[in-house]
């Protein structure tokens, strides 16, 4: 499955819970980039210059990384992608990766939250986690890039009959229960 939603919608938090309940790995491109950036690997150095500005990392870098991660043994029985695909071209790239392995997406879950709520959450997280991209101007840019490049993927997956939407506003546990109810027809939850 794929998880969509604006920065601050709670994808990372909910991904960990879904991963546990469905016993599938949660694969977060943002987490992989951050781990590489703090370890100062070549991939990390390339990614960091984009992430710190709120821009997307180039597809050439991102696609290769996802392809390698999906080839790992733990992804053979299913996986949850958090933060990928984020552009239409990444959708096509993922289609090709899945076709090669004979897998297909079961569901695309969009966690929705309005801009005002996500800015407030991200500014709060900035004081707790010290992420370089959680400053107000960078947050605004990330939301803009999301609206331009990623939000259209919801209707793209909707036209394939794969989209399920869940309201991300409210208590974390409440949102998890909403998600599990929404996913029930697609997976043995
Ligand atoms: P958020 O969804 O809160 O913005 P993420 O941790 O998912 O945070 O991503 C942080 C940054 O990592 C993004 O702003 C972007 O620079 C980079 N990134 C993550 N996934 C992708 C992707 N699929 N394509 C390009 N860049 C990505």
Residue 165 φ/ψ, nearest 5 degrees: -110, 135
Q: Cα dist. 59→51, 74, 80, 87, 110 in Å?
A: 13, 24, 19, 9, 22
For the segment 92-149, what is each residue's pLDDT rounded down to a tens digit?
A: 999 999 999 889 999 999 999 998 999 999 999 999 988 889 999 999 999 999 999 9
Rounded Cα distance, 56 and 49, in Å = 10
CA–CA gap between residue 40 and residue 31 (Å, rounded)? 14
**Closest-lying ligand 1 atom to the alpha carbon of residue 11:** 2
| 56, 61, 120, 168: residue to mutate for ligand 1 pocket, most atoms within 8 A of CB | 56
Ligand 1 atom at shortest distance from the alpha carbon of 29? 20
What is the tens place of the pLDDT at every residue in 8-57?
999 999 999 999 999 999 999 999 999 999 998 999 999 999 999 999 99
* Cα 50 to averaged position of ligand 1 atoms, centre (Å): 9
In the beta sheet, which residues pair with residue 188? Answer: none
What are the boundaries of each domain within the chain? 2-181
Task: Tell me the per-residue pLDDT of 139-175, one tens digit each, with 9 for 90 and over.
Answer: 999 999 999 999 999 999 999 999 999 999 999 999 9
Residue 188: what pLDDT?
A: 62
Q: What is the pLDDT of residues 60-84, one digit of tens each?
A: 999 999 999 999 999 999 999 999 9
Superfamily of domain 2-181 in the CATH hierarchy: P-loop containing nucleotide triphosphate hydrolases (3.40.50.300)
Contact 189, 183 (CB under 8 A): yes
What count of other Cβ atoms lies within 10 Å of the Cβ of residue 141? 15
Q: Is 34 annotated as a binding residue?
A: yes
189, two tokens: 């939850």
What pTM was computed for the model? 0.93
Q: Is 26 helix (H, G, I), strand (E, B) or coil?
A: strand
Q: Ligand 1 centroid to 163 CA: how many Å?
A: 21
The DSSP secondary structure of 122-188, one letter per residue, reads HHHHHHHH--TT-SHHHHHHHHHHIIIIITHHHHHHHHTT-EEEEE--S-HHHHHHHHHHHHTTTS-
């Amino acid at each position: 499955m794929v998880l969509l939603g604006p920065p601050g919608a709670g994808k990372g938090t909910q991904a960990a819970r879904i991963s546990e309940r469905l016993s599938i790995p949660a694969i977060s491109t943002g987490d992989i980039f951050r781990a590489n950036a703090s370890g100062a690997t070549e991939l990390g150095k390339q990614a960091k210059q984009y992430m710190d500005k709120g821009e997307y990392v180039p597809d050439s870098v991102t696609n290769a990384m996802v392809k390698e991660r999906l080839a790992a043994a733990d992804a053979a029985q299913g996986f949850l992608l958090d933060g990928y695909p984020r552009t239409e071209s990444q959708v096509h790239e993922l289609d090709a990766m899945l076709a090669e392995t004979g897998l297909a997406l079961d569901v695309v879950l969009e966690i929705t939250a309005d801009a005002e709520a996500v800015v407030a959450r991200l500014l709060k997280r900035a004081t707790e986690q010290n992420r370089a991209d959680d400053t107000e101007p960078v947050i605004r840019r990330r939301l803009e890039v999301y609206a331009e490049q990623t939000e259209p993927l919801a209707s793209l997956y909707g036209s394939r009959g794969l989209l399920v939407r869940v309201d991300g506003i409210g208590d974390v546990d409440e949102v998890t229960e909403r998600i599990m109810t929404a996913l029930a027809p697609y997976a043995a939850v």
